Amino acid sequence: MKHIGRTKIVQILTLTDFGIEVNVKGWVRTKRGNKQVLFIALNDGSCIHNLQIVVEPDKFDEHLLKRITTGASVSFNGTLNKSNGSGQAVEILASEIEILGDCDVDKYPLQPKRHSLEFLREIAHLRYRTNTFGAIARIRHAMVFAVHQFFTQKGFVNIHTPIITSSDCEGAGEMFHVTTLDFNNLPLTEDGTINYNEDFFGKQTNLTVSGQLEGELAAMAMGDIYTFGPTFRAENSNTSRHLAEFWMIEPEMAFADLNDNMDLAEEFLKFLIKQALIGCEDDLLFLSNRLKEEEKDKKEEERSMELIEKLKFVHSNDFVRLTYTEAIAILKDSKYNKNGKFKYNITGFGNDLQSEHERFLVEKHFKKPVILTDYPKGIKSFYMKLNDDNETVRAMDVLFPQIGEIIGGSQREENYDKLVARMNEMGIPSHDMQWYLDTRRFGTAIHSGFGLGFERLMLFITGMSNIRDVIPFPRTPKNAAF
Ligand code: ATP
Ligand code: MN
């Protein structure tokens, strides 16, 4: 085969210098045709579109042509032609064909037809080869890039926080232990408990549930920082919005209060949505049609807003900001609550909001994203700044349609005495946390930050309904395949 440099399909589709010779490599999606002419749809992952390859069978060996099957990896040399067929502007007339990898097509699980998302989860190692998962992978990349772009433009410094930690302050019972101890021969102390002095780190360690505490340390020197790393939670909640391993973005700003924090969160989410609209048009269009198809049997009022329209809507509207106490009043007085339509009835101040309540506020009541602030201290973490009422803390949750909570954050308690008092009240051992408390002793300053769950963002942007479908290899209870 004559050597010509490979061109990606996304580029080929924009070319207009017909007659030039190109090389293209990819995986066959479909092959159709007859004795006179074959049409091959080739995809190389560079975009949602396939490239049409035209093959005149009499120019090639019959056995070679038989090996061009769905799933096979093939290299084509050929001439770029204007396409007469509908659906594409250009096509390649093949002059040389090389089979790079045959596909055992009888055993290949991806047939050229629609497969259910449940089935595709079972073959997650191959699902990238579908239009849906190719589109999601490209959008995921665009969003990663946009996250770094946003913070870089604003002068935030990216900080890598540890994945293995020894602090167990946030999610007691929700952490995965990290150990090299031999479970069949555990070293014990005199009172019969496990002797972690013998463990790798000389103490009990876990996978991190958040990079925030270390992020705060950095913000107290660098000013504005953000982390973007994997996060692990052993919560046994088998929902469509929870993973055991997910990615989180956590900015932290010195000299910023809760209002600054809300402003940043809203600007950040809108930036990400805008970048998706600008950079991922074809993939979003595909996912929009996918969603319409999925919901075509639903009643009109149960269908979601068209995907691109929804993104534009959220991008161009101010988020509603109100306090938890105001939200409780709305929920308590709602027909939904009075008619017992919530699984968890709202009785008053102190109730933890479930995702059904969050979605009611966003989808039914305000019909816009909502930022709730000033939650009761009893349902929030120890590090959140206590308000003067001594009852509520300067917390904020950003609530999105279809998702519920997409961001959780707060202004942090910067006062040493108040922070230690809260830790004692909540039974958090402050002697292990001296490193964290030091920032409050050595030049403390008001500061604020939040965490955006990257896969929750991806759910919103792609319109997918299960979080297992927006991360390549999901980790959920009883599932760590691939
Ligand atoms: P939720 O109430 O929805 O379980 P949370 O209050 O435990 O979330 P935070 O500790 O505030 O969550 O974490 C910050 C963000 O991380 C959340 O707003 C959400 O976007 C995301 N997040 C939290 N838990 C998970 C999870 N198990 N899987 C995926 N994303 C998550
Ligand atoms: Mn939260």
Query: Does 189 map to a domain?
Result: no
| Residue 198 placed within a domain | no
Return the structure tokens found at 60: 């090639």
Residues 321 and 373 sit within 8 Å (Cβ to Cβ): yes
Contact (CB, 8 A) for 235 and 174: yes
Residues 283 and 413 in one domain: yes
Domain co-membership, 413 together with 376: yes
> What is the SS3 assignment for 108?
coil
Question: What is the pLDDT at residue 337?
Answer: 94
The answer to whether 159 and 214 are in contact (CB under 8 A) is: yes
Looking at residue 241, the DSSP 8-state letter turns out to be: T
41: domain range? Answer: 9-101
Strand order from edge to edge, sheet including 177-178: 164-165, 205-207, 177-178
- Report which protein residue has its CA nearest ligand 1's atom 23: 453
Using DSSP's 3-state secondary structure scheme, residue 179 falls into coil
Instruction: Indicate whether 181 belongs to any domain.
Output: no
Any domain includes 200: no
Q: Between 258-279 and 281-294, two packed helices, what is the crossing angle to 10 degrees?
A: 90
| Residues in CB range of 372: below 8 A, 6 or more apart | 322, 323, 324, 327, 353, 361, 396, 397, 399
Asked whether 328 lines ligand 1 (CB < 6 A), one says: no
How many CB atoms are located within 10 Å of the residue 17 CB?
7
Q: Angle 281-294/131-153 helices, nearest 10 degrees?
A: 130
Instruction: Give yes or no: residues 88 and 140 share one domain.
Output: no
- Token reading at 449: 């930050």
**DSSP 8-state secondary structure symbol assigned to residue 430:** G
- Across the chain, mean pLDDT equals 95
243 within 8 A of 455, measured Cβ to Cβ: yes
Same domain, 266 and 385: yes
Q: Which CATH number fits the domain that encloses residue 269?
A: 3.30.930.10
115-122 contacts, C-beta under 8 A, 24 or more apart: 117/466, 117/469, 120/469, 121/468, 121/469, 121/474
Does residue 459 lie in a domain region?
yes
Question: What does the alpha-carbon distance between residue 203 and residue 360 come to, in Å, rounded to a whole number?
Answer: 45
For position 150, what pLDDT does the model report? 98
Residue ranges of alpha helices (H) inside 6-115 are 9-12, 62-66
For residues 95 and 138, membership in a common domain is answered with no
**Which residue among 169, 242, 357 is best mutated to probe the pocket of ligand 1, counting the most ligand atoms within 8 A of its Cβ?**
242
Among candidates 333, 380, 379, which has minimal Cα distance to 360?
333
Say yes or no: 65 and 17 in one domain.
yes
Task: Based on the fold, state whether residues 134 and 54 are members of the same structural domain.
Answer: no
* In-domain check, residue 180: no
Residues 159 and 267 in one domain: yes
Nearest CA to ligand 1 atom 20: 453
For ligand 1, atom 9, name the residue with the nearest CA: 408
Q: Answer whether 307's CB lies under 8 Å from 398's CB.
A: no
- Residues in the chain predicted with pLDDT less than 70, given as ranges, are 168-173
Any domain includes 464? yes
* CA-nearest residue, atom 24 of ligand 1: 242
Is pTM, for the whole model, over 0.85?
A: yes
Cross-strand partners of 206: 165, 177
Determine the Cα–Cα distance for residues 405 and 401; give it in Å rounded to an integer.
9
Judge if the beta carbon of residue 246 lies within 6 A of ligand 1.
yes
- Residues 257-303 pLDDT 10s: 999 999 999 999 999 999 999 999 999 999 999 999 999 999 988 88
Q: Establish whether residue 398 lines the binding site of ligand 1, counting it when its CB lies within 6 angstroms of any ligand atom.
A: no
CA of 301 to the centre of ligand 2 (A): 29
Return all residues near 296 (Cβ < 8 A) that are at least 6 apart.
none
Q: Which of 376, 381, 373, 368 is nearest to 397 (CA)?
A: 373
Ligand 1 binding pocket includes 406 (Cβ within 6 Å):
yes
- Looking at the structure, do residues 166 and 243 belong to the same domain, yes or no? yes
- Gap between the Cα atoms of 350 and 377, Å rounded: 9
450 Cα–ligand 2 center, Å: 9
Sign, CA torsion 196/201/203/209: negative
* Same domain flag for 82 and 133: no
Helix 454-462 / helix 131-153 crossing angle, nearest 10 deg: 120
User: Does any domain span residue 109?
Assistant: no
Query: Six-digit token pair at 8?
Result: 């990606």
Q: Whose CA is nearest to atom 22 of ligand 1?
A: 453
Nearest CA, atom 6, ligand 1: 408
H or E element in which residue 272 lies: helix 258-279
Residues 277 and 400 reside in one and the same domain? yes
Q: Is 270:318 a contact under the CB 8 Å cutoff?
A: no
Q: What is the CATH number of the domain that holds 84?
A: 2.40.50.140
Task: Indicate the top mutation candidate among 174, 355, 405, 410 to test ligand 1's pocket, ranked by most ligand atoms within 8 A of CB.
Answer: 405
Structure tokens belonging to residue 474? 């999901």
Q: How far is it between the farthest Cα atoms of the chain? A: 85
The whole-number pLDDT of residue 173 equals: 62
Are 97 and 147 in the same domain?
A: no
- Distance between CA 353 and CA 399 in Å, rounded? 11
* Count of domains for the chain: 2
Asked whether 474 lines ligand 1 (CB < 6 A), one says no
CB proximity list for 62: less than 8 A, separation 6 or greater: none
